[in-house]
Structure 1
């Protein structure tokens, strides 16, 4: 028997019901899966309640059940997920292509169209968790790549300053930077930034 990649027992789930009135069915299936339903938000009666509920309850996964997502709902989700990313599983009876694009842009992990099959809820929760983790990994890798590129540019600028001011060639300038970093217990990028700042300060005088 294969062990699921993500454990569902104890998973803190917030349900946002936008008029489908299927929360009793979802609640029963979440109980069967041994998830923890932290609350049910009625988005028809309280259309603006979702952001505050997400902040207050800090669920591990948000489940939204609606006929079709409104622009206001997608805007709320986008703003909330930008502040605190989390997996979102959205059930919708129908969605136009532009709504799908808006939902994915907002940060929704998984879309399920044309109804809610209770027997598939566990698999869909697993999918939402897996896609969220995958997206977070991609974003972390992108940020790391961008940081490395920015640091490389700083080192290149600092090396150019040493070549200009001390008459060093490229290799000697790099080794000088490396030695300064080792002596000060700092990174190459931090030493390069200090050198660039000092050069700019001298040039403004």
Structure 2
């Protein structure tokens, strides 16, 4: 038997009940899975309780059980996940394609339509965790690519300054930047930034 990539025992789960009243059944299944149910919030009685509960309880996964998610709920969710991303499993009885797109845009990891079969909860939690990790990996790769592109532009700009001010060709200017970075123990981007800032200060206005 293979070990799950995302083990469920001890997983801190917050359940947001938006009127389906399945929390006792979900609670029992979470106990069977050895997850930790940190709280159950009633979004019918307290429709604005979700952001504060997420901040106070810091669950590792949010499970929302509803008939269909309201725009207000999705807006709250998007704001909360912007501050602190986490996996979200949304169980809904019905959703239009527009609502599905809005839920995914808000940060929902996994959608389960037409109710919840308790015996499938473990698989759905695993799926939500896996999709969240995948999305976070893509975001990290995107940020790294954007950072590398920005740094490359800085180096190109600094190289142009050296070519203009010291009469160097492209390769010699790059090697000069590289040598300064090595001698000072800084990155190429840091040296390039300092050179650009100095050039802006010294350039006649």
TM-score, normalised to structure 2's length? 0.99
Task: Please say if 1:46 is aligned against 2:46.
Answer: yes
1:204 to partner: Cα distance = 4.5
What is aligned with 1:30? 30
CA distance in 1, matches of 2:193, 2:41: 49
**Equivalent in the alignment of 1:59:** 59
Distance verdict in 2 for CA 1:14–1:183, change over 3 Å: same
Instruction: Report the equivalent of 1:135.
Output: 135
**Distance in 2, Cα, partners of 1:87 & 1:137:** 13
Moved beyond 4 Å, runs of 4+: none
Residue in structure 1 matched with residue 185 of structure 2 by the alignment: 185
Computed over aligned residues only, the root mean square deviation of the Cα atoms, in angstroms, reads 0.6
Moved more, 1-10 or 144-153: 1-10
Q: CA deviation at 1:2?
A: 1.7
1:47-196 matches, within 5 Å, as 47-196=47-196
The TM-score with structure 1 as length reference comes to: 0.99
Per-residue deviation, 1:203: 1.4
Task: Please list every run of 5 or more consecutive structure 2 residues that lacks an aligned counterpart in the other structure.
Answer: none
The secondary structure found in structure 2 opposite 1:129 is helix
- 1:140-161 per-residue CA deviation (whole Å, 9 max, x = no partner) reads 0000000000000000000000
Aligned residue for 1:6, secondary structure, equals: coil
Structure 1: give runs of 5+ residues left out of the alignment: none
Aligned length: 205
